[in-house]
Amino acid sequence: MDYRRYYQPGARYFFTVVTANRKPILIDNIDRLRVAFKKCITRFPFELEAIVVLPDHLHTIWRLPEGDADFSKRWMVIKRQFSSGLPQATVSQSKLKKREKGIWQRRFWEHCIRSEDDWRRHVDYIHFNPVKHGYAGKPSDWQYSSFQQAVDQGWYEPGVLITDDFDGIGRE
């Protein structure tokens, strides 16, 4: 398969990453996921601008360092670090050949952020996602997101209501 990604050094990217077969393992292993992100950021720095973790997928926005566009390497590190120590799922021969444990879907969705408006819509999408999926009544009710940090940074007024007008955003 000739899959092409757009690599832009120093850019901001929105990502959707999903567990294999949508297995709901992320919240139960949230500390493991946090460690995986911290270890990756230590080795391969990037700025984590927004994130939401749901049981079977996550969305995030990263800003890569100037001169560096290798988000694929970073996702490989995060996925491997998270998967290390977890029991292997039943996997195909092709996954075995690639040393995959069957924890994650192979690929991920990425979108290069093109403007401040594009960034804002994706940040809102991330923070509204637990509401969209029925996990929370409002973004501030979901503890596995960066919503409160966004409020603390002045990106949202306290008590703000985010609507679900997100045509064309995200892959789930």
30-43 and 71-83 helices, crossing angle to 10°? 140
Write the CB contacts of 158 (distance below 8 Å, at least 6 apart in sequence): 151
Q: What is the residue whose two structure tokens read 């927004």?
A: 50
The rounded distance, in Å, linking the Cα atoms of 80 and 23 is: 17
And the tokens for 42? 């230590």
- Which of 3, 7, 135, 144 is an active site residue? 144
Helix (H) or strand (E) holding 129: helix 116-132
Write the CB contacts of 83 (distance below 8 Å, at least 6 apart in sequence): 101, 103, 104
* Other beta carbons within 10 Å of 110: 18
Q: Is 3 among the residues known to form the active site?
A: no
Residues recognised as catalytic: 144
